Amino acid sequence: MAANPKRVLIVASRFNEVVTRRLLAGAEETLESAGYGTDDLDVIWVSGAFEIPVVVHKGLATGEYVFAIALGAVIRGETPHNEYIATEATRGIGEAAIRYHTPVGFGVLTCDTMEQALARSGGSAGNKGVDAAQAAIQTAQALSNLGE
């Protein structure tokens, strides 16, 4: 099944939702500016960043999406747990993009503090949800130019 040129999958983590909702708002605004309507977007919420890759894989396997965007926030705690979560989320998201030849905008923050995460989700350091959406759009265009 060929992808609808307007269908987009967004997978967002509920963990640190105060951050991921801001990332999502940035991604949605960027997509709207690029001509994508609310009906073109499937937003699926998962519990945490670790769960993002399996949903991205399952969604891309349908062949229904021109690209996906992964949004999450992994914040350092007192143990190295965050490193394991961030590493596996990153690996799984990248694997999905390569396996399905479909762009996945990477908007999973890996920060030391909540303040850093808020700065990167619409604060002084911009909004990485915007960046993830722009990267996905641009990569989809590059693949289209290659005849994908």
Active-site amino acid positions: 81
Return the SS3 of 72.
strand
Distance CA 45, CA 23 (A): 13
Cβ proximity of 59 and 68 under 8 Å: yes
Of 56, 68, 58, 65, nearest in space to 27 by CA: 68
Radius of gyration of the chain (CA): 14
Q: Which residue has the tokens 């605004």?
A: 29
Cβ proximity of 92 and 130 under 8 Å: no
Give me the amino acid identity at 44: I
Distance CA 107, CA 123 (A): 15
